[in-house]
Amino acid sequence: MHAKTTKRILLRVTFIVLTLGIVTLLSSRGDQSGLTTFVRQDETVRKRTLDVPCSKDYKKYQHFEGCTPRRCGRGVMDGLVTHEEAKQLQRIAKRGLALGGSNGGASILDLHSGALSKGDSFINLYELMKRSNHKIVFSEDDFSLYRKVKNRIRSAIAAEFGIEQDRLHLTHPTFFSRMTTKPAKTVHDEYWHPHIDKETYGSFDYTSLLYLSDYGSDFTGGRFVFVDKEANSTVEPRTGRVSFFTSGSENLHFVEKLASGTRFAITVSFSCDKKHAIDDPHIKS
């Protein structure tokens, strides 16, 4: 073969390889809107983590040695909670929420305090249960499932961040959420605003979310989005998926507005400060 022809072919091959490389790189980083996917709904991840630099805000907060994040980050685990456990928790959520429900698109049931969205405000489910002879909604088995799952999540967070698990205290609020496409009626329905959990909830140091329904089939929209400098990054909810992260401003986030369907999740969070510890939810007598 002619040296010139060989050179031309080599140049062409190099061009094709480079173009393919750039296309692959761009598509793996996200679409034109600057959105990348951290974990897709249709994949099963044992554990996927990402370190993110801790925000400077930690200087403002009291430091709890051996617990306050020194390393910040995010993680997603699919194997921690079984599909059946998540489905059972969804049934519990539905049972409780059936006694209330917001007029707008977001309803919560706080398992610890009993706060339940109803209309444009909240009622107390435990008060209601007390008045109507206790076990109308939850059984001891329901609470025991919640505790089991919460302890598993706590161990996973402790292992990931190199903390002794006894230093992580379950904190308020811990709640089931149900989101729909209904228009918001009060600010409590506006789940789509970017926020920092440490600022919104005060006591949170490590946030976890357990998803109880599937993005793409049970609902559309409703992806969890981390707001990052370069490109936002989504976690697509999947039944049984646990997503956890340090609660400071390094993990600013929001939930996209739902486009269709109903989305269920539980927020389970931990504080390093004993003062903010709450008991495991249990039947109040």
Ligand X SMILES: O=C(O)CCC(=O)C(=O)O
Helix (H) or strand (E) holding 52: strand 48-52
Give the residue from 213, 208, 251 showing the smallest Cα distance to 233: 251
Indicate whether 225 belongs to the interface with ligand X (CB under 6 A). Answer: no
Residue 158 vs 258, nearer CB to ligand X: 258
Nearest distance from C-beta of residue 16 to ligand X, angstroms: 41
Q: Does 224 bind ligand X (CB under 6 A)?
A: yes
State yes or no: is 263 an active-site residue: yes
Minimum gap (Å) between residue 263 Cβ and Fe ion: 14
- Closest Cα to residue 204, out of 161, 152, 169? 169
Query: Which residues make Cβ contacts (< 8 Å) with residue 278, sequence separation at least 6?
Result: 112, 169, 170, 171, 172, 174
Residue 209 binds to ligand X (criterion: CB under 6 A): yes
- Enter the tokens of residue 90: 């969804």
Q: Does 197 bind Fe ion (CB under 5 A)?
A: yes
Residue from 90, 177, 246, 249 in contact with ligand X (CB under 6 A)? 177
Residues 252 to 281 in contact with ligand X, rule: CB under 6 A: 253, 255, 265, 267
- Measured from the CB atom, is 149 or 255 closer to ligand X? 255
Task: Name residues contacting Fe ion, limited to 63-92 (CB under 5 A).
Answer: none
Q: Give 110 or 197: the residue with its C-beta nearer to Fe ion.
A: 197
Bond into 173 cis (ω within 30): yes
- Transcribe 79-141 into DSSP letters: SSS-HHHHHHHHHHHHHHHTT-EESSSEEEEETTT-EEEEETEEEEHHHHHHHTTSTTS--HH
Please give the residue ranges that form the binding site for ligand X (CB under 6 A).
177, 197, 209, 224, 253, 255, 265, 267
Residues annotated as catalytic are 263
Residues that bind Fe ion (CB under 5 A): 197
